[in-house]
Amino acid sequence: MTKKVLKGVVTSAKSNKTIVVEVTRKFKHPFYEKVIKRTKKYHAHDEQNKFKEGQKVSIVECKPISKKKTWEVIK
């Protein structure tokens, strides 16, 4: 099975080796057919602490690192 890859913006880089990435997705409502925007925050593993707030990153699924971290940064 392939791993999911998501793109988003770093909203917090205050924790050690952890960043918070906000991913926005757009979809059409099934009945009203209006385009809706939804955002969700993911905790991702950043081994070198090189990503800062405001940067665009790609994250990929991985095995659980901690209670909330099941994603890691690839770009």
Instruction: State the fold for domain 5-73.
Output: OB fold (Dihydrolipoamide Acetyltransferase, E2P) (2.40.50)
**Which H or E run contains 54?**
none
Residue 40 is predicted with a pLDDT of: 98
Domain boundaries, the chain: 5-73
The tens digit of pLDDT for each residue in 34-47 reads 999 999 999 999 99
**Token pair for 72:** 């890691």
**Token pair for 4:** 């999911």
40 strand-pairing partners:
23
Predicted TM-score (pTM) above 0.85: yes
